[in-house]
Structure 1
């Protein structure tokens, strides 16, 4: 079982404390996820004067599914309120350029903080907790730094050792309990890192302890599947069916992954994640 988690508000997107950075700093291309092209640095036409989205309740209906999937892990409010002390990109050209440069880096740091916090909640990985706490402290010091320091930091020097620790923490957790062995057990040959399960029929599957790191699960049917201790870091869950699936103890499941999938009232999620509004 997973140690109960706090809500980690600093790692949750709070658009009310941000100046619409994702709606301006980032680019998007016309596709099934976005209704038109937008270059990086140009405000989205749907961004209001108060930094809110004019069509937020209708984003999916208006062709902006990608906006409902994106999550900044709290980087937006960190950059706005902490790094730039409440300033806005509208204040000056220098502030604009600096905020737009810092924001994507801050998102990487906050995403790393999310994963490390997840790993620290895994009892089976207790032997790795001291090293994980050191990584978390280092990442937090970057998040709290001045813009110039953030921009000059080589994030790979933190991400590389963190990736090894996260992988080891997941392995220890996967091996700490029963591996899928029920009547709907999926053969181990089909379950491996980066495997292609595009559109796979995994209804009622026993995926306990499965290593699904980086798996391609686009449009996979995971209805009523048991994903306890399944490692899902980097797994692509776009349009996957999660109706009735049990993901309460899935390892490294994130809000963007959940937002990209489809579920219902019976889908069981970790307490740290919110149920998407588009789910039935």
Structure 2
């Protein structure tokens, strides 16, 4: 598995490490939320290891990657695995698609990254968080989602700034008759990283986003009960599952024990 160093322009001019570190954290947060909501430790451990390896490489201004051929083979294998999983299990389709998105993100972590790859990683991870919102009614997901939105806003702004720095670097380098050192180009393009300005902009973007999300939650009709299901577990507003699994065959005995008390209010008359 090749390990290449960042170019001086990546380190001094385009500030690549400032984008990849929060992006890796965002990927881990989205994948971990989906894995915990589903109760699947395999994807949680796999994503944690993949993000940790890439984090250590980025911290040293290096990039860990494999050839594009192996990535394409991995995508094909992932598609086959997901199709087999879909036709051999009774889990929800949204969970199966979520598994595929997790596998694609893991593969793209070990690919040489360009602007297009960053956009793909962001899009896949955001779709994964949408899938998480569809399969879990747990309250712990609410603060995690707020944290995720804050981090996503920060990553989007840093990516926009990096794209501008990339464009400025290309224009400056093309207009010179001779090669310039990255330090000289960086001095002419950007003096200080606007970290404080970016952090100040996060609340301004996050607050309207949360208001729109709250309004959509209140207005949009609720999904059916089966949309709140996770793998092998179903939730119902009546407390009864749409399907029951008994596991191993067992004997059932008739008993007078009361297991449920139901009260129905209809036409101002109460019946029990």
TM-score band, normalised by the shorter chain? under 0.3
The structure that is strand-richer by fraction is: 2
**TM-score, with length taken from structure 2:** 0.27
The structure that is helix-richer by fraction is: 2
Say which structure, 1 or 2, has more relative contact order (CA 8 Å, 6+ apart).
2
Is the radius of gyration larger for structure 1 or structure 2?
Answer: 2
